[in-house]
Every structure is written in structure tokens, then in C-alpha cells.
Amino acid sequence: MTYPFSTPTTVTKYEQITETPERAMVIFAHPDDAEIGAGATAALWASRGCEITYVQCTTGSSGSNDIEMTSERIVAIRAAEQRAAADAIGVSDIVILNHPDGELEADRVFLGEVVHALRKYRPQVVFTHDQHRVNGFQHRDHRHVGITVQDAIYPYARDHLHFSDQLVNGLEPYKVKHLFFWGADQSDVIVDVSDSVDTKIDALSKHESQIPGLSFGSDMDRRMRSRHEDAAKGYGFKYGEIFRRLTARA
């Protein structure tokens, strides 16, 4: 039977981001999230001289399906994998907050840690999980990172009367210019990552405990590339990485 009404179609038009900031930060819940969400853009910008800082919020201590695996062992394995992936991307610094995997709360302690990282590294652009995504299940830690990062940027890192005890030894309030969410239901910006999608796949392949069997030419490689290819259709380049962007008022 033919559906008797016309199906609404959404024409998604992304604004293309071509500028490279001096400093950017990727704030993520678990080892591998940063590369999945923003790896190609981070690699591209790093290659153009942007200083990239990672803030890893949990240890990834629950990330194993192997019943023989212990939390201690998986934490050590994932820390080494994340370091190798970050090196492949060209990340300058990694801040590790060490919350237990699955136990990250959007509380004042975590908020203060994110505010401190923003005030210390002063990124113009921050990437994180989209806490407002409703299209499908999402890890609780991801939601808590997303909402905490958005709150940390505005108003907490910006205003000197919030976490004012941090403002010693040269640390000052800081205003982030743009917040880019990955995994959004409705993305609105795109970055041409045709030159860096290989680096993203290479970095992701370092997370062997999480994504076994990922290598150039594998099925997973093809699936990942096709997602980036689909995003870029109609834009005149081959691969795109997409985000939902919030911009602070001047």
C-alpha cells in the first residue's frame, strides 16, 4: 500500500567550516570517543598548527566484554591505546580526570574540573558529546559530559565569581568561542576532512580492545568512510565530519 500522505523531507544544509583555530579541546567520556566524534577534524587542525588538548573524563574501566578481564587491566590497556591514538592525531596534551567508567555524575566536582581545564588551556573551539540527542540510546556518561561541558563554558569558566578559588597563579576567567557537538540529531556545520580521514581511521585502529579488526580496507573502515562520504554529498569534497555548533555571543 502506498502511504497516502507525502513524507516530510528535511533538507540538511551544513555550513562549511574552513578556518583553523589556534587552540581546540576535545572533551570526552571514554578512550576512543574523541576519535570517533571529532578525530578527523582534530587531525586536520593539528596538521595546520592548531594546539589540540584532550580531556578524558573516565578511565574506561568498564569497557570490556571479556569476562576474564579486570578493571585494572582494561584501564592500563585503554590508557596506552588512547596515548597511541592521540599521538596519531597530533594531540599536544591529555588531561585525564580518572572518574570510574559508568559512574560519571554531572556534579559540581566534575564541573569544576572542566572549568579548570578550559581556563588553563583556553581553547577557542571545544568538541564534545551532544547531550540532547534523542535519536537512539546514548551512554549516561556521554550525556553527563555534554551537559557539564556546555555549563562549564557558559557561565562558569567565563565569570570570575564562579570557582573563583581557581583564579590563582595566573589562571583567569575564559570565554570559549564555539562549542561543537558530535552525534547530534541535527548537525549544522561540516568540515572537509578528505585529507585527514585516513589519520582518523589509523588513530581509531589503536583502540584495539574496543574496535578489533579495524584496518585500512576492512569492512569497518569502509563503513566509517561511507558515513563521512554521505555527509559530504553535494559539497564538492569527498569526506566530511559534521557537528551541531553553538557560538557565544560577542
Q: What number of other Cβ atoms are within 10 A of residue 172's Cβ?
A: 11
- For position 33 contacting Zn ion by CB under 5 A, the verdict is yes
Residue 30 contacts Zn ion per CB under 5 A: yes
The stretch near Zn ion (CB under 5 A) out of 33-41, 164-172, 174-182, 231-239 is 33-41
Alpha-carbon distance values, 179 to 14, 24, 31, 222 (Å): 16, 10, 20, 29
77 counts as binding Zn ion under rule CB under 5 A: no
Residue (82 or 166) nearer to Zn ion, CB: 82
Residue 139 or 158 having the CB closest to Zn ion:
139
Q: Quick one: which of 24, 26, 29, 179 contacts Zn ion (CB under 5 A)?
A: 29
Tell me whether residue 10 is exposed, middle or buried, using C-beta atoms within 10 angstroms of its C-beta: 0 to 12, 13 to 18, 19 or more: exposed
Residue 18 vs 65, nearer CB to Zn ion: 65
Query: Is residue 57 within the footprint of Zn ion (CB under 5 A)?
Result: no
Is residue 117 a contact point for Zn ion (CB under 5 A)? no
Interface with Zn ion, residue 192, by CB under 5 A: no
* Closest CB to Zn ion among residues 29, 40: 29
CB of 73 to Zn ion, least distance (A): 19
Q: Return d(Cα 64, Cα 160) in angstroms, integer.
A: 41
β partners of residue 243: 189
| Number of residues located near Zn ion, criterion CB under 5 A | 3
Q: Is the peptide bond before 155 cis (omega within 30 degrees of 0)?
A: yes
What stretch of H or E contains 4? none
Beta bridge partners of 191: 241
Residues making contact with Zn ion (CB under 5 A):
29-30, 33
